[in-house]
Structure 1
């Protein structure tokens, strides 16, 4: 008869064998050491019209280096498009990411936000700054308290902001979600191998998320180690991202970098982007 004592003894033997094996003792560089490989946790937040799917190649590169990667999809987008509703706002998406952090018990992780995702990670950082090791804005919105996705960036007149809002509402004829732009608008050439993949996966984006002002009573990401990456070949038309790069490059609290690719760097330059993230 197999007793509890036998089971404990067998488990101890198996554990000892695994810990003593060369494979377990290899470090991230492939060198043998007496310690298990140290992992960094990455939480990657996508932008408008995208989903967690867009990080496929970057996540694979980070995981190959031994890191742990989370690529959640925001409510109403990607594989969660069936949840689309007029009530989905910016706070919904902030709460999505806060839930990922809570239920995966994330600590000392690197938080990355692309494009509209910059709004989301700013709201997240305001709530859980003590859990974040480094925050990365990838060609992303960088709002101040009270700003919206359309008002963040360089100062503009009320008439210009009203015109921008009218254009966005035109993309959402039912007042719920904005139709996606074609991939070439995001810097993905038509002959790029990822063009059709991106075109197939993009979904309408909840309009309310771009009109809601963000509340940053604790200063958002201010005071955290921060990096801004600007994608400048080509620059996304009519965006605030070049302006944010210029501003952050003058601030000693920031590390500011450029990446010679289009806006969707995770698709057009995944290896270069992965190298940058691993360097953090």
Structure 2
């Protein structure tokens, strides 16, 4: 297996309290948030094959927006001179990796969406939740912060060049968003590898070995 670069993009900045319940752990951080630490359980599995792994914490959602988050990840890729990057996005992170892939497509090899938002051009995360028939504000802790209400504009044809994997978590509370994604994928099945995992919304916490294996098996040497 040849070494690759993986850039892992978290969703909304999860509280340590929520994480500890899911992962049955006892992690505490100065700000009470997990950020990029949600990837810690799977990073060793990727690094075991000498892959480079980047799992940054995005700038606070009250001080940034979707465009800036996309630029953050793009800068990590270009600043580290990465090529053939596997972008992995969880939850809201699906918005970010979609934007990154269409901004710097020549740097990207494949996309992995983990129970993630899958936008069409001109849609925001809040739009996707509403499309699923739920009030976005009904999600505990979800506020109309700038990244979640900003509409993502991109050229969808650029995404056609990439192998794309979607992992739907069947026990997820994010089902209103992932249901919308599943319908989109069903209308273009040849463009996707679609998989289901009997996990909560955060398989990195509840099923780290399984999600690591899925990522590696479906992205190695693309």
TM range (shorter): 0.7 to 0.9
Q: 2:77 aligns with which of 98, 101, 105?
A: 101
Q: 1:223 aligns with which of 152, 161, 164?
A: 161
Q: Any idea what the Cα deviations from partners look like across 1:63-90, whole Å, max 9, x if unmatched?
A: 123211110110116xxxxxx53xx111
Residue segments in structure 2 that go unaligned for 5+ positions in a row: 15-34
User: Which residue does 2:9 correspond to in 1?
Assistant: 45
1:60 aligns with 2:44: yes
Q: Report how far residue 152 of structure 1 moved.
A: 2.6
User: Which residue does 2:24 correspond to in 1?
Assistant: none
RMSD between superposed Cα atoms in Å: 2.4
Equivalent residue of 2:201, what SS?
coil
Equivalent residue of 1:119, what SS?
helix
Extract structure 1 runs of 4+ deviating beyond 2 A. Answer: 152-156, 217-223
Q: Report how far residue 102 of structure 1 moved.
A: 1.1
Q: Which has the higher contact order (CA 8 A, sep 6+)?
A: 2
User: What is the correspondence of 1:41-190 to structure 2 with a 5 Å cutoff?
Assistant: 41-50=5-14, 51-76=35-60, 84-85=62-63, 88-152=64-128, 155=131, 164=135, 167=137, 180=141
Residue segments in structure 1 that go unaligned for 5+ positions in a row: 1-27, 29-37, 78-83, 172-178, 182-204
User: Which residue does 1:15 correspond to in 2?
Assistant: none
Larger Rg: 1
Flag the 1:245–1:125 CA change in 2: closer, same or farther, 3 A: same
Matched length: 197
Q: Report how far residue 238 of structure 1 moved.
A: 5.2
- Tell whether the 8 Å contact from 1:76 to 1:206 is kept in structure 2 after alignment: no
Q: Report how far residue 272 of structure 1 moved.
A: 0.4
Distance 2:179 2:166 in 1: 10
1:247 aligns with 2:184: yes
Distance 1:237 1:47 in 2: 12
- Tell whether the 8 Å contact from 2:92 to 2:116 is kept in structure 1 after alignment: yes
Q: Report how far residue 273 of structure 1 moved.
A: 0.6
Flag the 1:135–1:103 CA change in 2: closer, same or farther, 3 A: same
TM-score computed with the length of structure 1 as normaliser: 0.64
- Tell whether the 8 Å contact from 1:229 to 1:245 is kept in structure 2 after alignment: no
Equivalent residue of 2:86, what SS?
strand
Distance 2:144 2:52 in 1: 29
Distance 1:237 1:227 in 2: 18
1:211 aligns with 2:149: yes
